[in-house]
């Protein structure tokens, strides 16, 4: 029996004792009401034929309070039951949250970046990081090879690699999920261990004994330990056989010990011996850049009406100028003076006089330009690339050399971007660095011409009726006969020759 029922019955009993006129009605409570509410309702329905007004008012107020409390307790029970069910559901989510509150919820997904307007896919060439390894902000994680450049995928922030979503040699598209990593602070790399004092002293002693010409920074690793001495031939040492028995015994025991030690390590399998007269073949998949180069060169042969003209340049004056000023320029500008800057400057001057060599065909129109974006052919391990020197017509020798050197370093390091290679109105290719004597370069479409440089050879030539030895370079100009006629092409090459044989003319042009 609840406390509320007890209170209601006691109050009813006291009311009957004081006023016997009170009678209790007999209506049956509804099944939907709680026992507390039923008892309170019974008490509320007492009839009073002749009770005093004060007692009736106080009884009525008390009854209403009891009903309110009873109904409140019923609502509270319902709320408690609903809250209990809610806690049960929440506890299951809490357990899941504890299970998944690891770094997977914090992991970010890095997608394949935008590479260029004309590039929508590439080949995932290599992963530089593996799951579990930490990365710093902007550290390279993967390399994607395209038909023009290699694209580096860097970490957006410091963290730890959690999952790789693509394998090497897979074809990936722009916007595809590439890898997941958990951002957060990572431990700094441990400082390099200090060498023992004895080794430092030995190295210092060795440095003092070395001649000045051989003094170098000691950043190289320590030499590897010497190979173990070969096993001694016991029979050779003991020809008389006095200690032969003991020596054989020791040698056998030594062999057994070495075999026992070697069992735990798996030695690499030796390569099969090459059979005399064998004819093997190796097939390697062409990379995207090589495929693109092949496609572009064939496109050039099919599209352009290519023709090549040659000429010879006496390099005496240019070589003398370079020999006289290269040390001064190196000290003043920290740039090595080469021949490429002179050829580039001479070509820019000649292109102003023969604008058709700096033009291109666009549909049924010819596009002439009053600027020169010079494409410089650079050979890399993956193929030939042509980064562009912008506005070369306004540059000096030193500025051209500095820009070409910077682009060459980026090309060899695989750091060229699409902006470095886009455009180009005229190309210079220097095959002479590899020893080429003659050659017919292929036009880099949609350009109109390409100038080919070759190696310098001393040859006998006739000068003022005298046979003299001069350094001669053969140059070649391959041009698109759709844009340039023979007269214009030969005139262009002769002007380049004249500028280079007497560099002072470039100052007067």
Q: Is residue 481 flagged as an active site residue?
A: yes
Average pLDDT over residues 113-124: 80
Q: Specify if 475 maps to a domain.
A: yes
Q: What is the pLDDT of residue 266?
A: 57
Average pLDDT over residues 362-382: 91
* pLDDT class of 72 with cuts at 50, 70, 90: low
**pLDDT tens for each residue of 451-462:** 999 999 999 999
Q: Specify if 394 maps to a domain.
A: yes
Q: Is the pLDDT assigned to residue 449 strictly greater than 70?
A: yes
Instruction: Report the CATH number at residue 349.
Output: 3.30.559.10
Continuous segment of H or E residues that includes residue 468: strand 466-480
Q: What is the pLDDT of residue 108?
A: 87
**151, 166, 182 — which closes off a domain?**
182
Q: What is the pLDDT of residue 3?
A: 54
Average pLDDT over residues 185-210: 50
Angle, CA 112 vertex, CA 419 and CA 141 arms, to 5°: 90
Residues 356 and 489 in one domain: yes
Q: Is residue 485 flagged as an active site residue?
A: yes
Structure tokens at 87: 């806690």
Q: What is the pLDDT of residue 55?
A: 42
| Higher per-residue pLDDT: 82 or 236 | 82
| Higher per-residue pLDDT: 149 or 229 | 149
Q: How much of the chain exceeds pLDDT 70, in percent?
A: 62
Q: Judge contact between 135 and 181, C-beta under 8 A.
A: yes
Q: What is the pLDDT of residue 317?
A: 96
Give the whole-angstrom CA distance, residue 144 versus residue 284. Answer: 18
Instruction: Report the CATH number at residue 133.
Output: 2.40.50.100
Q: What is the pLDDT of residue 319?
A: 96
Average pLDDT over residues 190-214: 45
Q: Specify if 363 maps to a domain.
A: yes
Q: What is the pLDDT of residue 381?
A: 79
Q: Specify if 272 maps to a domain.
A: no
Q: Is the pLDDT assigned to residue 112 strictly greater than 60?
A: yes
Average pLDDT taken over every residue of the chain: 75
Q: How much of the chain exceeds pLDDT 90, in percent?
A: 38
Residues 320 and 458 in one domain: yes
* pLDDT class of 351 with cuts at 50, 70, 90: very high
Among 171-180, 214-223, 268-277, 388-397, the minimum mean pLDDT is found in 214-223
Q: What is the pLDDT of residue 416?
A: 85
Q: Specify if 149 maps to a domain.
A: yes
Q: Is the pLDDT assigned to residue 191 strictly greater than 80?
A: no
* pLDDT class of 115 with cuts at 50, 70, 90: confident
Q: What is the pLDDT of residue 382?
A: 77
| Higher per-residue pLDDT: 406 or 211 | 406
Buried-exposed string 341-368: b where 16+ CB fall within 10 A, e elsewhere: bbbbbbbbbbbeebebbbbbbeeeeeee
Q: Specify if 163 maps to a domain.
A: yes
User: Strand runs (DSSP E) across 329-465, as ranges?
Assistant: 360-362, 365-367, 374-376, 378-379, 384-385, 388-389, 426-430, 449-453, 456-463
Residues 340 and 477 in one domain: yes
Is the omega angle on the peptide bond into residue 310 within 30 degrees of 0, that is, cis?
Answer: no
Q: Is 28 exposed, middle or buried (0-12, 13-18, 19+ CB in 10 A)?
A: exposed
**161, 182, 203 — which closes off a domain?**
182
Q: What is the pLDDT of residue 380?
A: 82
Average pLDDT over residues 395-409: 93
Listed in sequence order, the residues at least 6 apart from 445 whose beta carbon sits closer than 8 Å to its beta carbon are 296, 299, 300, 303, 304
Q: What is the pLDDT of residue 152?
A: 85
**pLDDT tens for each residue of 249-305:** 444 444 444 444 444 445 566 767 778 888 989 998 888 888 888 888 999 999 999
Q: Specify if 431 maps to a domain.
A: yes
Which of 138, 215, 481, 502 is the catalytic position?
A: 481
Q: What is the pLDDT of residue 446?
A: 93
**pLDDT tens for each residue of 206-265:** 444 444 333 333 333 444 444 544 444 444 444 444 444 444 444 444 444 444 444 444
Q: Which residue has the tokens 């307790």?
A: 73
Whether the CA torsion 143, 406, 288, 383 is positive or negative: it is negative
| Higher per-residue pLDDT: 118 or 199 | 118
Residues 170 and 312 in one domain: no
- Name the CA radius of gyration of the chain, rounded: 47
Q: What is the pLDDT of residue 276?
A: 84
By C-alpha distance, which of 346, 399, 400, 474 is closest to 357?
346
**pLDDT tens for each residue of 35-63:** 444 444 444 444 444 444 444 444 455 55
What 3-state class would DSSP assign to 134? strand
Give the whole-angstrom CA distance, residue 438 versus residue 188. Answer: 55
**147, 165, 182 — which closes off a domain?**
182
Q: Specify if 357 maps to a domain.
A: yes
Listed in sequence order, the residues at least 6 apart from 239 whose beta carbon sits closer than 8 Å to its beta carbon are none
Q: What is the pLDDT of residue 424?
A: 93
Q: Judge contact between 362 and 377, C-beta under 8 A.
A: no
What would the DSSP string read from start to end of 269-331?
Answer: PPPPPPPTT-------PPPHHHHHHHHHHHHHHHHS-EEEEEEEEE-HHHHHHHHHHHHHHHH
Q: What is the pLDDT of residue 188?
A: 60
Q: Provide the residue range defining the domain that includes 154.
A: 120-182
Q: Name the domain count of the chain.
A: 2
CB atoms within 10 A of CB 1: 8
Q: What is the pLDDT of residue 220?
A: 38
Which of 138, 233, 485, 502 is the catalytic position?
A: 485
């Amino acid at each position: 029996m609840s406390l509320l029922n007890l209170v209601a019955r006691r109050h009813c009993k006291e009311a009957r004792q004081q006023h016997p006129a009170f009678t209790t009605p007999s209506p049956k409570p509804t099944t939907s009401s709680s026992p507390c509410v039923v008892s309170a309702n019974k008490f509320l329905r007492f009839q009073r034929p002749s009770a005093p007004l004060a007692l009736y008012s106080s009884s009525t107020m008390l009854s209403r309070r009891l009903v309110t409390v009873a109904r409140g307790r019923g609502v509270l029970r319902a709320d408690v039951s609903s809250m209990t069910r809610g806690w049960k559901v929440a506890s299951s989510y809490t357990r899941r949250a504890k299970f998944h509150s690891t770094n997977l919820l914090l992991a970010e997904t890095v997608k394949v970046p935008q590479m260029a307007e004309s590039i929508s896919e590439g080949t995932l060439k290599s992963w530089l990081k593996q799951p579990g390894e930490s990365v710093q902000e902007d550290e390279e994680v993967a390399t994607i090879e395209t038909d023009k450049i290699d694209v580096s995928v860097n970490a957006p922030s410091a963290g730890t690699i959690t999952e790789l979503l693509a394998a090497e040699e897979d074809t990936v598209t722009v916007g595809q999920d590439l890898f997941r990593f958990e951002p957060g602070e990572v431990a700094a790399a441990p400082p390099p261990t200090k060498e023992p004092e004895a080794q430092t002293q030995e190295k210092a002693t060795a440095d003092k004994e070395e001649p000045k010409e051989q003094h170098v920074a000691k950043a190289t690793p320590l030499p590897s330990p010497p190979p173990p001495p070969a096993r001694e031939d016991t029979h050779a040492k003991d020809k008389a056989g006095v200690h032969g028995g003991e020596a054989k015994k020791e040698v056998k025991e030594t062999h057994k010990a070495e075999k026992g030690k070697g069992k735990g390590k798996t030695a690499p399998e030796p390569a099969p011996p090459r059979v005399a007269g064998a004819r093997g073949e190796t097939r390697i998949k062409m990379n995207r850049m090589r495929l693109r180069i092949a496609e572009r060169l064939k496109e050039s042969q099919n599209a352009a009406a290519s023709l090549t003209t040659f000429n010879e340049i006496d390099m005496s004056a240019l070589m003398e100028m370079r020999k006289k000023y290269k040390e001064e320029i190196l000290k003043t500008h920290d740039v090595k003076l080469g021949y490429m800057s002179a050829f580039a400057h001479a070509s820019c001057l000649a292109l102003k006089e023969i604008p058709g060599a700096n033009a291109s065909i666009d549909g049924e129109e010819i596009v002439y330009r009053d600027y020169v974006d010079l494409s410089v052919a650079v050979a890399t391990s993956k193929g030939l690339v042509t980064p562009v020197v912008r506005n070369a017509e306004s540059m000096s020798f030193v500025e051209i050399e500095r820009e070409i050197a910077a682009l060459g370093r980026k090309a060899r390091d695989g750091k060229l971007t699409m902006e470095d290679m886009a455009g180009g109105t005229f190309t210079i290719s220097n095959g002479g660095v590899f020893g080429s004597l003659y050659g017919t370069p292929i036009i880099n479409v949609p350009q109109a011409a390409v100038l080919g440089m070759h190696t310098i050879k001393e040859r006998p030539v006739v000068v003022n009726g005298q046979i003299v030895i001069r350094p001669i370079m053969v140059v070649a100009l391959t041009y698109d006969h759709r844009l340039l006629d023979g007269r214009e092409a030969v005139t262009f090459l002769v002007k380049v020759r004249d500028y280079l044989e007497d560099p002072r003319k470039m100052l007067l042009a």
